[in-house]
Amino acid sequence: MSDNNFYSLDKLVEFGMGLSIATQMAASMNHTLSQTQIPGAGTAMSTHTETVYYAVLDGVQAGPYSLTEVARLIAEKKIVKETYVWKPGMAKWDLAENVDEVLRLVALTPPPLPTD
């Protein structure tokens, strides 16, 4: 057998040693990587951000407000269906009765008490 033969004993020993070393390196790297702490890897990034709303109160822009805060302002009668509101994504200010999320909250508030 010549030394250039792929199946020669020397080539098979070299191949076996290379395979053994590669396996040890892979195991060592896997262990090291599993122990590595990557900042922020444990927490998922939130792609959902809460929508904020602005309102014209007493002739002045007010906000930003969360939808919960808008509900409180509606309960306090500071925002009514004729109040101008705006949220990111809207081209211009519009009445609360034309903004679906706000209209749902306005519709939940009871009307004024009768004055009989």
> Cβ contacts of residue 83 below 8 Å, gap of 6+?
55, 56, 57, 95, 96
Q: Classify residue 83: in a domain, yes or no.
A: yes
By residue range, what is the domain housing residue 63?
Answer: 53-108
Rg of the chain, C-alpha, whole Å: 34
30 and 71 assigned to the same domain: no
| Residues 5-36 pLDDT 10s | 666 777 778 878 888 888 888 888 888 877 77
CA distance 82 to 104: 14
User: Alpha carbon 41 to chain centroid distance?
Assistant: 14
CA distance 21 to 46: 42
Q: Classify residue 102: in a domain, yes or no.
A: yes
| Residues 55-108 pLDDT 10s | 999 999 998 999 999 999 988 989 988 999 999 999 999 999 899 888 888 877
Q: Classify residue 7: in a domain, yes or no.
A: yes
| 2: pLDDT strictly greater than 60 | no
63 and 28 assigned to the same domain: no
**pLDDT, position 44:** 64
The domain total for the chain is: 2
